[in-house]
């Protein structure tokens, strides 16, 4: 039996290993899926008295819902989908643990509770995250007085309930249901005060929790398959959480308890006067015509304007004219880790042109034009030198080192962090105002005509 789980685990590890390059990634995903099939088949065939009818019903319902999600979802909605899937994963683990607890023989009560705690918290927290990303719930941090006290209270209550189990004051059924309810509440309480801009961190963390929940359930039912797979997912989620925190220069504690986005940075109050130079697309096209090396810096605004395709057409046209075109992608450019890359891949951008922060920053030194599309805080040079800036210390794309910086924006509204971007007033910066899609369409026409 465990031999088949070993095979499955090896398939998962090979699958993840092949995810280290876009060329091998697809086959890796396929190998991981085979691993899952092996695990499921082994479980079905080796177990004695199975209620096959119910199992088939479960597979059909779950399979159809999953397939529907997978085929219908828009790439911009990927964060929501991952959020809700984290919730299902956590929920499934909590349900297995509950079922094990409520069915004889007696199981290890402590592990049941840990499994239910993490699984349920992941479930309720993920649905709040989903609601925020989908716009069902306000993306703003929802905070009220005593909120963190309430969370702490719920957590302490769980710990106390666990420790009095052996004293016989309450029967284990009551303790179990109380922990279930408290965990559900705690999941909501932990996610609801976190703002929309911090969701990449939250879904990465919940991703990790869904893995840890599976591991806990694996300990409970003594199943290697669950332990190994859960650990892989747990490690993956933690690594991504860490990368996202670094990308925003925030500690995990600060994201979870900080409720940033609420108290919009007031700064020192003395907004510096900036000399904004507004250019037409014709002038921008002429500058680009003279350039040899161009770096496009996309932000989420580009995806909101659904302008990825026309951006790629502009890049293709420039490339056809013999210019070098690259894309610089900040870790928090999208709404989840790697989101912007998927959105550009969908627009047929070749993956070898997509460069991450460390790869692209040296490239700005000899870059003629940096074209900023819908990005703002991630290109604000204040992060490098202005200690009073709320984004000070955040790693940014050094676009200001290019000869010319062309910034497309709808208006002068500040970005997510609510701060004005000093880049816009730099001598080598020019602004082209307008909707990204319209502007790029005009630009495309102008470039072709030049």
Partner 1 sequence: MLDPGTINLLTIFILAIFVGNEVISKVPPTLHTPLMSGSNAISGIAVVGAILAIQTEGTLGTYLGLAALIFATINVVGGFLVTDRMLRMFKKK
Scanning residues 151 to 210, which ones bind partner 1 (CB under 8 A)? 203-204, 207, 210
55/152 with CB nearer partner 1 = 55
Site for partner 1 contains 252 (CB under 8 A): no
Span from 71-79, 278-286, 291-299, 392-400 in contact with partner 1 (CB under 8 A):
71-79
Q: Which residue in the block uniquely carries the two structure tokens 């940033």? A: 260
Taking every pair of Cα atoms in the chain, the longest distance, rounded to a whole number of angstroms, is 84
Given a contact cutoff of 8 angstroms between Cβ atoms, the answer to whether 288 and 314 are in contact is no
83/419 with CB nearer partner 1 = 83
Residue list 255-284, contact with partner 1 (CB under 8 A)? none
How large is the angle between the packed helices 224-248 and 199-221, nearest 10 degrees?
160
Site for partner 1 contains 429 (CB under 8 A): no
Residue list 29-48, contact with partner 1 (CB under 8 A)? 29-30, 32-33, 36, 39-40, 43-44, 47-48
Give the residue, chosen from 190, 326, 354, 447, that forms a contact with partner 1 under the rule CB under 8 A.
Answer: 354
Is the peptide bond between 105 and the residue preceding it cis, with omega within 30 degrees of 0?
Answer: yes
Using CA atoms, how far apart are residues 311 and 245, in angstroms rounded to an integer?
29
Residue list 314-333, contact with partner 1 (CB under 8 A)? 329, 331
Q: How far is the CB of 350 from partner 1 (least distance, A)?
A: 4
- Sign of the CA dihedral running 102, 106, 107, 112: positive
Site for partner 1 contains 390 (CB under 8 A): no
How large is the angle between the packed helices 78-102 and 172-191, nearest 10 degrees?
170
Using CA atoms, how far apart are residues 194 and 70, in angstroms rounded to an integer?
27
Is 268 catalytic? The answer is: no
Span from 152-160, 224-232, 280-288, 289-297 in contact with partner 1 (CB under 8 A):
224-232
Q: How far is the CB of 310 from partner 1 (least distance, A)?
A: 17
Question: 380: Cβ–Cβ under 8 A, 6 or more apart, which residues?
Answer: 389, 391, 396, 415, 419, 421, 422, 423
Q: How far is the CB of 121 from partner 1 (least distance, A)?
A: 15
H or E element, residue 433: strand 429-433
Q: How far is the CB of 160 from partner 1 (least distance, A)?
A: 25
Residues in the interface with partner 1 (CB under 8 A) total 111
Residue 171: C-alpha distances to residues 105, 154, 175 (Å):
17, 19, 7
Phi, psi of 429 (to 5 degrees): -100, 140
79/189 with CB nearer partner 1 = 79
**The one catalytic residue among 198, 377, 398, 442:** 377
211/374 with CB nearer partner 1 = 211
CA dihedral 232→237→239→243, nearest 10 degrees, is 160
Residue 155 half-sphere exposure toward CB, CA atoms < 13 A: 12
> What does the block give as tokens for 163?
């420790």
Residue list 86-105, contact with partner 1 (CB under 8 A)? 86, 88-89, 91-93, 95-96, 98-100, 102-104
Site for partner 1 contains 342 (CB under 8 A): yes
99/166 with CB nearer partner 1 = 99
Using CA atoms, how far apart are residues 18 and 16, in angstroms rounded to an integer?
5
329/436 with CB nearer partner 1 = 329
Site for partner 1 contains 295 (CB under 8 A): no
Q: How far is the CB of 432 from partner 1 (least distance, A)?
A: 27
Q: Report, as residue numbers or ranges, the catalytic residues.
A: 377
């Amino acid at each position: 039996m465990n031999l088949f789980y070993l095979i499955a685990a090896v398939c998962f590890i090979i699958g993840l290993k092949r995810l280290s390059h876009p060329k091998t990634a697809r086959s890796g995903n396929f190998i991981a899926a085979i691993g899952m099939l092996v695990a499921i088949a082994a479980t079905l065939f080796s177990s004695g008295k199975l209620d096959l009818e119910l199992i088939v019903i479960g597979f059909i319902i779950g399979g159809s819902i999953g397939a529907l999600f997978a085929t219908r979802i828009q790439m911009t909605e990927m964060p929501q989908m991952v959020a809700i899937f984290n919730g299902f994963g956590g929920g499934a683990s909590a349900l297995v643990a509950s079922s094990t607890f409520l069915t004889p023989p007696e199981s290890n009560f402590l592990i049941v509770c840990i499994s239910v705690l993490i699984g349920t918290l992941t479930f309720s927290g993920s649905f709040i995250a989903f609601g925020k990303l989908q716009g069902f719930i306000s993306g703003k941090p929802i905070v009220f007085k005593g909120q963190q006290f309430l969370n702490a209270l719920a957590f302490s209550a769980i710990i106390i309930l666990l420790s009095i189990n052996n004293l016989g004051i309450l029967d284990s059924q009551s303790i179990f249901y109380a922990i279930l309810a408290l965990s559900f509440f705690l999941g909501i309480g932990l996610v609801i005060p976190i703002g929309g801009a911090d969701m990449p961190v939250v879904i990465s963390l919940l991703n990790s929790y869904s893995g840890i929940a599976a591991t806990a359930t694996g300990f409970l039912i003594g199943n290697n398959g669950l332990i190994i797979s859960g650990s892989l997912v747990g490690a993956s989620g933690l690594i991504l959480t860490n990368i996202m925190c670094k990308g925003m220069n925030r500690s995990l504690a600060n994201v979870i308890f900080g409720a940033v986005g609420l108290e919009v940075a007031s700064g020192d109050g003395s907004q510096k006067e900036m000399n904004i130079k507004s250019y037409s697309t014709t002038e921008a096209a002429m500058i680009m015509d003279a350039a040899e090396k161009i770096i496009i810096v996309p932000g989420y605004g580009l995806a909101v304007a659904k302008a990825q395709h026309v951006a790629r057409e502009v890049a293709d046209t420039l490339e056809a004219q013999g210019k070098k075109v690259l894309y610089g992608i900040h870790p928090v450019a999208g709404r989840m880790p790697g989101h912007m890359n998927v959105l550009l891949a969908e627009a047929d951008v070749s993956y070898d042109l997509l460069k991450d922060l460390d790869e692209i920053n040296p490239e700005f030194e000899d870059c003629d034009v940096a074209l900023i599309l819908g990005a703002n805080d991630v290109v604000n040079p204040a992060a490098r030198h202005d200690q009073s800036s709320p984004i000070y210390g955040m790693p940014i794309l050094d676009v200001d080192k290019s000869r010319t910086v062309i910034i497309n924006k709808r208006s002068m509204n500040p970005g997510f962090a609510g701060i004005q971007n000093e880049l816009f007033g730099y001598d080598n910066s020019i602004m082209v105002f307008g909707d990204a899609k319209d502007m790029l369409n005009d630009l495309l026409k102008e470039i072709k005509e030049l």
